[in-house]
A = this chain, B = another copy of it.
Amino acid sequence: MLLTGQIKWSALMLAMVISSLCLALPLDKDRKALIRKEEMLQIGGKLLLTKQEELANEKLMALKNAEIAQAMKTSQFPPSMHFFRAKKLIEESKVFHVLKKMPKGAALHLHDFGILSVDWLVRNVTYRPHCYLCFTPRGNLQFKFADPAPPTPKPEDCSEWILLKKYRGQLQNVTEFDNSLLKNLTLVVDNPELAYSDQAIIWARFENIFITVAGLVHYAPVFREYFARGLQEFYEDNVQYLELRATLFPVYELNGKTHDKEWSLKTYQEVAQKFAKDHPDFIGARIIYSYHRRKNVTYIAESVQAAMKLRVKFPETMAGFDLVGQEDKGHSLWELKEALILPTTQGFDLPYFFHAGETDWQGTSIDENVLDALILNTTRIGHGFALSRHPVAKNISLNRDIPIEVCPISNQVLQLVSDLRNHPAASLMSSGHPMVISSDDPSIFGAKGLSYDFYEVFMGIAGVKADLRILKQLTLNSIKYSSLSADKKQTTKEIWQKKWDKFVHDLAEGKKL
């Protein structure tokens, strides 16, 4: 069937023609130059590695190539699988273990209550005295610490408060109960496609988890400790600095007294400063005050005003302002423009860090957020998932050097893309678009720190050939595009460089990382 017996040219004649061509194909040089040009355009493509970095790179690429060859054979390639299924495979990856040890610079896109693995919340916080629990009519949990017991909620809001200590005392299997609590604090399930049939459902659940966690974390003693432990978790993942989107909702005391935004911000500042003092190889944290995009323009204007006041009062910690919540369901930035241009009209410098383009719905007013964020002078673009479909916005972002904050696992879990090789950051990366990698809400996705997201980028989004250069550049980007002052950036870079050199040395020498 396959042309047998139909060969008209003798194999010998062809072999002669072919071998004569082999020697000097005029195209070979041009082709190499074009491929080299593409390699140079890729993020990090222009970096010159030191000798030791080259050695480290060889080691790293040997691991990467082996894992990719294996994945091609088994069709088990973590970046093309749902993270909930890929996680175990990732944890077995040698590349992942290298990435964990790599100093990653800054984590710039994180939310207040998604930075710390939830174990501690269940196994420690819910065991503290005066911890109450209720169930909403939709089956979600709410927590509260109070003494005396908090007033009974309206039945349409929540069940009666149950004192956890008492409740656990009546249970036969406390471990099972605690495990069920854990499940209520993350999105992780065995079969995500079945559990979350569409974006509306997973976003509703996602926002409910924040409400559940908030009941625990807004309790003043926990608030302080949660943040310190969150910093610790990122520190242990070799992150040197972080920026946190924080809603600054009222933090409460046992007696019901609540604290205002200033108190929260001050607490964040104190905790971060203490942590940095105790860990001289950690720079600290800054806060991006964030308000819900579903609120109307009057409330948004109020929050912008609040942000300006906070920025005056906490110049060291208060980095700027953002809007949070599901973009597709909230107001577009343009609908809120009267509130968002207040600082400009008042001649006040309030940096914006707008979420924009976290949507698959191209061509809606929400999808225009990527352009509007730039028009409204954003400092970075949160996600920017839609940016590659906006050639004008893309050019502005490139020319003004406004980076996107790419959070691969978040985008996958929240159903913007399934196979991460199809993440739109792939094409942006290949042309060197400014970007940083972050993890959004790692604890809620069952991840931790930045390493899982770096793994998805390095193995999946950036392609097979991507090497140490892209990792180095993305890490340098995270410092460059942070909101830190020039001085602090310099200090961070020095700290990072020292760690980087050690990391490279250990990798090059084949030391157990």
A11 at the interface (CB under 8 A from B): yes
Closest B residue to A464 by beta carbon equals B363
List residues of chain B with CB within 8 A of the CB of A200. Answer: 75
Of B30, B302, B463, which one neighbours A7 at CB under 8 angstroms? B302
Contact residue among B301, B389, B418 (Cβ-Cβ distance under 8 Å from A17): B301
- What are 30 inter-chain pairs, A to B, with CB distance below 8 A? A1-B249, A2-B249, A3-B302, A8-B306, A9-B305, A11-B298, A14-B302, A18-B297, A18-B301, A18-B339, A25-B341, A27-B376, A34-B396, A35-B371, A37-B392, A38-B390, A38-B391, A41-B391, A72-B361, A75-B198, A75-B199, A361-B463, A361-B464, A362-B464, A362-B465, A363-B463, A363-B464, A364-B464, A367-B463, A388-B427
B301-A390 in contact (CB<8A)? no
Query: Nearest B residue to A387 by beta-carbon distance?
Result: B427
Is A89 an interface position by the 8 A CB rule? no
The answer, yes or no, to whether A303 is at the interface (CB within 8 Å) is yes
Q: 1/0 contact trace for A253-279 toward B, CB 8 Å?
A: 000000011000000000000000000
**Complexed CA–CA distance, A261 and B2 (Å):** 12
Q: Are A260 and B6 within 8 A (Cβ)?
A: yes
Does A486 touch B at the CB level, under 8 Å? no
Q: Mark A456-478, 1 if CB is under 8 A from B, else 0.
A: 00000011111000000000000
Smallest CB separation, A36 vs chain B (Å)? 9
Known: A25-B337, A360-B419. 13 other contacts (CB 8 A): A1-B250, A2-B249, A6-B260, A18-B339, A27-B337, A34-B371, A38-B393, A72-B361, A75-B197, A360-B421, A362-B462, A363-B463, A389-B463
- Identify the closest chain B residue to A420 (Cβ): B360
Report chain B residues within 8 Å CB of A464.
Answer: 361-364, 367
User: Smallest Cβ distance from A368 to chain B, in angstroms?
Assistant: 7
Q: Which residues of B contact A17 (CB under 8 A)?
A: 301, 338, 342, 345
Q: Tell me how far the C-beta of A154 lies from the nearest C-beta in chain B, rounded to whole angstroms.
A: 15
A8/B360 contact (C-beta < 8 A), A375-B27, A418-B418 known:
no
User: What is the distance, in angstroms, from A193's C-beta to the closest C-beta of chain B?
Assistant: 8
Q: Which residues of chain A (438-470) have a CB below 8 Å from chain B?
A: 462-466
Which residues of the other chain, B, contact A260 by a CB distance below 8 angstroms? Answer: 6
Chain B residue nearest in CB terms to A42: B391
Listed from nearest, the 5 A-B pairs whose CB atoms lie closest are A362-B463, A363-B464, A363-B463, A75-B198, A363-B465
Within 392-432 of A, Cβ neighbours of B (below 8 Å) are at: 392-393, 396, 416-419, 421-422, 424, 426-427, 430-431
Is A80 positioned at the interface, with any CB of B under 8 Å from its CB? yes
A171 contacts the other chain (Cβ, under 8 Å)?
A: no
Q: A338–B427 contact, CB under 8 A?
A: no
A211-230 vs B: 1/0 string, CB under 8 Å?
00010000000000000000
- Are the C-beta atoms of B31 and A372 separated by less than 8 Å? yes
A1-B249, A302-B7, A339-B18 in contact; A426/B362 too (CB < 8 A)? yes
Q: In the bound complex, what is the Cα–Cα distance between A430 and B368 (angstroms)? A: 13
CA distance A303 to B342 in the complex (A): 69
**Which residues of A in the span 353-388 have a Cβ within 8 Å of any Cβ on B?**
360-364, 367-368, 371-372, 375-376, 388
Known: A197-B75, A431-B391. A345 touches B11 (CB 8 A): no
Tell me whether A292 is interfacial, beta carbon within 8 Å.
Answer: yes
A334 touches B (CB below 8 Å): yes
User: In the complex, are the beta carbons of B301 and A430 less than 8 A apart?
Assistant: no
Indicate if A15 sits at the interface (CB-CB under 8 A).
yes
Contact, CB under 8 Å: B430 / A389 = yes
- With A3-B302, A38-B390, A391-B41 as contacts: A363 and B9 at CB distance below 8 Å: no
- Does A295 sit at the interface, judged by CB under 8 A? yes
Interchain CA distance A306-B303 in the complex, whole Å: 73
* Chain B neighbourhood of A8, CB < 8 A: 302, 305-306
Name A303's closest neighbour in chain B (CB-CB). B3
Question: Contacts A8-B302, A34-B375: A21 and B360 contacting too (C-beta < 8 A)?
Answer: no
B391 touches A341 (CB 8 A): no
